[in-house]
């Protein structure tokens, strides 16, 4: 939860640009109260002749998908603010390069989301905070042990 998957033509993004995108994407979600370890970013390079846009295999094209599993946008205002944050992350890297970029955001039912086989405790603030603090999925039985240690 969330997962960004970039489909790019070769050499469209440098290693440094991929690092910068992944860091900015992760920081954006951490700022929204999501542990960094849950933010996943993939870059798939598609060689010329395997990626088409407008019926042609274009150089310098990026298509990416954002998959969200745990939360839905609670309002149009929040949705538009998030879209603005996405644009602020990618435009400084893709815009100056003249890259054509396009994306979709998908919201999946939270009921289908699991981490290490567990239902993430998103709605249980205290338990979720353990995941945030440790930056990892904490097994259900460990919550009681954590509380006793504090």
User: Which tens digits make up the pLDDT trace of 3-17?
Assistant: 999 999 888 999 999
How many domains is the chain built from? 2
pLDDT, position 148: 45
Instruction: Please write the tens of the pLDDT for every residue from 56-95.
Output: 887 788 999 999 987 788 899 999 999 999 999 999 999 9
Phi, psi of 43 (to 5 degrees): -120, 115
For residues 61 and 122, membership in a common domain is answered with no
Long-range CB pairs of 11-18 (<8 Å, 24+ gap) are: 12/59, 12/60, 12/61, 12/62, 12/97, 12/99, 13/43, 13/62, 13/93, 17/93, 18/43
For residues 108 and 122, membership in a common domain is answered with no
For residues 86 and 36, membership in a common domain is answered with yes
For residues 80 and 94, membership in a common domain is answered with yes
Examine the pLDDT at 150 and tell me if it is beyond 80: no
For residues 133 and 108, membership in a common domain is answered with no
For residues 142 and 84, membership in a common domain is answered with no
Alpha carbons within 13 A on the beta-carbon side of 41: 15
Query: What pTM did the predictor assign?
Result: 0.86
For residues 98 and 121, membership in a common domain is answered with no
> Residue 71's CB: how many other CB atoms inside 10 A?
16
For residues 20 and 91, membership in a common domain is answered with yes
* Residue 41, domain extent: 3-112
For residues 53 and 95, membership in a common domain is answered with yes
**Exposure of 76 by Cβ count < 10 A (0-12 exposed, 13-18 middle, 19+ buried)?**
exposed
For residues 105 and 123, membership in a common domain is answered with no
> Residue 86's CB: how many other CB atoms inside 10 A?
16
């Amino acid at each position: 939860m969330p997962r960004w998957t970039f489909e790019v033509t070769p050499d469209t993004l440098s290693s440094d640009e991929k690092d910068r995108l992944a860091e900015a994407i992760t920081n954006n979600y951490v700022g929204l109260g999501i542990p960094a370890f849950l933010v996943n970013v993939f870059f798939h390079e598609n060689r010329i002749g395997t990626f088409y846009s407008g019926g042609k295999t274009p150089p310098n094209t990026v298509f990416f998908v954002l998959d969200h599993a745990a939360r839905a946008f609670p309002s149009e205002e929040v949705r538009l603010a998030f879209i603005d944050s996405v644009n602020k992350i990618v435009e400084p890297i893709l815009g100056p390069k003249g890259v054509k970029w396009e994306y979709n955001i998908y919201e999946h039912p939270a009921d289908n989301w699991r981490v290490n086989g567990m239902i993430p405790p998103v709605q249980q603030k205290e338990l979720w905070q353990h995941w945030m603090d440790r930056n990892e999925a904490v097994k259900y039985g460990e919550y009681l042990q954590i509380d006793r240690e504090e």
